[in-house]
Amino acid sequence: MTVDYNTKMVTLLGDPLKQSFAAQMQNCGYEAEGLNMLYFYTEVNNDHLEDVVNGLRYMNFAGFAVTKPNKVAVLDYLDELDPLCKKMGASNTVVKTPEGKLIGYNTDGIGFVRSIEKDADVKVDENVYFCIGSGGAGRAMCSALAYYGAKKIYITDAFEASSKSLVEDINENFAPVAEFVPCGDFSKVADATIVMNASGIGMESHLGENPMPTEYIKADQLYFDACYNPAKTQFLLDAEAKGAEILNGLGMSLYQGAAQIELWTGKEPPIDAMKNKLLEIISE
């Protein structure tokens, strides 16, 4: 990749960023598409976020990406918000217009919706969902489901204040389709066609753990885990053993990144090249 006077920059604003694969996937996509762009990291938290964002207005940037802990705070420094982003109250993608305006979007939930649509042939508005976890991933997933017409979304979390807050936000800002489920109550899983794990249980220090008892798994359900490293968490392994269809979070990560490229360039992203790069990274 050659960086020259015309290179359009994109940076990810967050802290910490050492665990991120975004730059490798994005730069692979730019190269495959012949785009003169460069994606890199900028570690910054809320304390200096305003200074950095204002600086980006006057530099040769197509836009920037946003991750923890800045997805909510960044809204204060943007000029406009996409309707989904405004309803969610968080942005992970910002586009800089030729006039220098900064417009906020959120592609996290879009990545999830595209993944289940393309990789599992799901029609969002025909299904009932049960989500374990209401943090960043769970909030994005459930908000996008409500935005695109989900019939019903049951939400539970070990931190009940978090799941209650998400249910209230969805019912107020999207549609009255969300219902709070107390922690440890999995009786509503039987009503769901798609069960999602957005809790992080099953990865890193919780490797080998399943956030729900296996007796609630049914073979005619789809089980989705936002994690993709490992490729099959215990949640997915247990569902697969019961004959259920499973899907991990690789597609969610892939399609949210692809949606960012669409927003920054207006071009169709090279999905296959980006997917191969992600698979290469996690196999190392």
Q: Exactly one of 8, 18, 71, 242 is catalytic; which is it?
A: 71
3-state secondary structure of 63: strand
Query: Strands 128-132 and 152-156: what pairing?
Result: parallel
Q: Which residues are bridge partners to 104 per DSSP?
A: 81, 94
Q: Say how far apart CA 99 and CA 109 lie, in whole Å.
A: 28
Cα–Cα nearest to 225, from 241, 258, 201 = 201
Backbone phi, psi, residue 218, to 5°: -120, 145
Distance of CA 142 to the CA centre of its chain: 10
Is there a catalytic annotation at residue 275? no
Kindly state the DSSP code that residue 280 receives in the 8-state scheme.
H
Catalytic annotation, residues: 71
